[in-house]
A and B are shown apart, each in its own frame.
Chain A
């Protein structure tokens, strides 16, 4: 990803320092901000391609910053947080963040998340064939294969898989998948959540070499699901 511009927003200088060093060595061009206001200013002035946003900012709630960024831009956002509570993660994702990492994290994980959220820019809806591991999905022909074996999915199972594929590598909240597949608003969310779990379970039965230890569809505890994908 040579030349990709990253804006690092974190009030801790040592963290900004080590992130800058690690990411620069992978070809990223770094700009920094130490609080919410600086972040919003830097968004306009440096025009980054992706933002790494810490939620624990001194001047504004990180979630608020994410919302404000979203108002102006569709730029991918990876959120960092010391707190591991799911409600924080879900709030951030609902506010428009594309993925999250709980501190402390390894640089490798961060690089993987950055690649996943940036991939969204280059992928289009018409991109015909999706491949990961032995799974091949031809979106044009609605054909799903594991190895050479053709798999038959129900329409709902296919839609769920499609949402996962369009966001391959990124975490999706339960709510997001429900909204995309069942077009349900928040009110009728409760009952349909179980339906989602059942569909994921069935997808695992049909696609995973060992459904007891999934390698494609990964559960993000308390948050949602992620389709594992790394190119």
Chain B
């Protein structure tokens, strides 16, 4: 407000002209003193829309216009009736008071809004830190717990020892994954993600990603449909690998192990579309876009581990390639993740 100075003064001028025009129409029916109300209205409008300066201007210019156009003798600035001087003074003072009050009111409303935004941001931040703190510490609970038992309790049998050791190992790995996700997210937020593109083969990308899941996929059916003549496309292999690993991880986690996972790639509209489809529960329609938000976790099933950051990182990486990632539900049940990367850089 008030920044577009010269333009707002011009509008103020127009406003007074409009009011004067209106007054010209109404002056046959009402006494001039009543027209003062119209000018005061213009002062209020100017105060709300353009700020203090323009509204004072309207007050002053309004008084002059009123004098010239409606106070006898009309079309002169002279005044026959000295009462009108009082009218002018009051009009101007009222105009000033209204402008000041209106502007103050706007400022207060603005401040109240900002305070509310600040409070909401604080709430979000607290929630965020609580969530991160929980996700960082939870695996450590098992690691510390299991290892302290092993250190302090000399009477554990072999089977128990092995179980505790395995738990500690798995939870330490889970923590490492979360740390990696946090770092990736921080890098994305800071705009520090370096995308170094080279011409790469999608089949290689898919194959390397699948190799990361050798154990979990041992007894699962995975179909891979990639045409032999699919062009090599420019991409940062390591970053896109993260994306594919994340998407695959979700497909494996959120679908029953006896049902297949299908991977397909094809050229569509100057882009290569990679689709990873599972036969799991699918994602609720309202959440299909929300799954890409940070820390978003699908509510069911409840016992699935994860950081909630994976898909937001995927989105960041894919978009840094000029591509798109989206989730859809599959007819017959399950989710399809579609990653599209442009063929030309």
Q: A213-B224, A219-B208 are in contact. Are A194 and B199 (CB under 8 A)?
A: yes
- A residues 187-231 near B (Cβ < 8 Å) are 193-194, 197, 200-201, 205, 211-214, 218-219, 221-222
> Interface SS of chain A: helix, strand, loop or mixed?
mixed
Q: Is the CB of A213 within 8 A of B200?
A: no
Interface size class of A (residues with CB under 8 A): 10 to 19
Tell me which residues across on chain B come within 8 A of A222, comparing CB atoms: 236-238
Q: Is the CB of A197 within 8 A of B210?
A: no
Q: Is the CB of B238 within 8 A of A221?
A: yes
Q: What is the CA–CA distance of A12 and B46 in the complex, to the nearest angstrom?
A: 70
Q: Is the CB of A218 within 8 A of B211?
A: yes
Q: Is the CB of B226 within 8 A of A212?
A: yes
Tell me which residues across on chain B come within 8 A of A214, comparing CB atoms: 207, 211
Chain A: which residue is nearest B225 at the CB level? A212
Instruction: Say if the beta carbon of A86 comes within 8 Å of chain B.
Output: yes
Tell me which residues across on chain A come within 8 A of B211, comparing CB atoms: 213-214, 218
Q: What is the CA–CA distance of A199 and B226 in the complex, to the nearest angstrom?
A: 18
Q: What is the CA–CA distance of A222 and B206 in the complex, to the nearest angstrom?
A: 15
Tell me which residues across on chain A come within 8 A of B204, comparing CB atoms: 197, 200-201, 219
Q: What is the CA–CA distance of A104 and B172 in the complex, to the nearest angstrom?
A: 10
Tell me which residues across on chain A come within 8 A of B232, comparing CB atoms: 194, 197
Q: A201-B204, A213-B211 are in contact. Are A193 and B198 (CB under 8 A)?
A: yes
Tell me which residues across on chain A come within 8 A of B207, comparing CB atoms: 211-214, 219
Tell me which residues across on chain B come within 8 A of A193, comparing CB atoms: 198-199
Q: A104-B176, A213-B207, A219-B208 are in contact. Are A197 and B201 (CB under 8 A)?
A: yes
Contact of A201 among B198, B203, B206, B238 (CB under 8 A): B203
Say how far A66's CB is from chain B's closest CB, in angstroms: 22
Q: What is the CA–CA distance of A56 and B208 in the complex, to the nearest angstrom?
A: 28
Tell me which residues across on chain B come within 8 A of A194, comparing CB atoms: 199, 232
Chain B: which residue is nearest A212 at the CB level? B224
Instruction: Say if the beta carbon of B19 comes within 8 Å of chain A.
Output: no
Tell me which residues across on chain B come within 8 A of A197, comparing CB atoms: 199-201, 204, 232
- B residues 170-216 near A (Cβ < 8 Å) are 172, 176, 198-201, 203-204, 206-208, 210-211
Q: What is the CA–CA distance of A214 and B203 in the complex, to the nearest angstrom?
A: 10
> Mask for A70-90, Cβ within 8 A of B = 1, else 0?
000000000000000010000
Interface residues of A (CB under 8 A from B): 86, 104, 193-194, 197, 200-201, 205, 211-214, 218-219, 221-222
Interface residues of B (CB under 8 A from A): 172, 176, 198-201, 203-204, 206-208, 210-211, 224, 226, 228, 232, 236-238, 241
27 A-B pairs with C-beta separation under 8 A: A86-B238, A104-B176, A193-B199, A197-B199, A197-B201, A197-B204, A197-B232, A200-B204, A201-B204, A211-B207, A212-B210, A212-B224, A212-B226, A213-B207, A213-B210, A213-B224, A214-B207, A214-B211, A218-B208, A218-B211, A219-B207, A219-B237, A221-B208, A221-B238, A221-B241, A222-B236, A222-B237
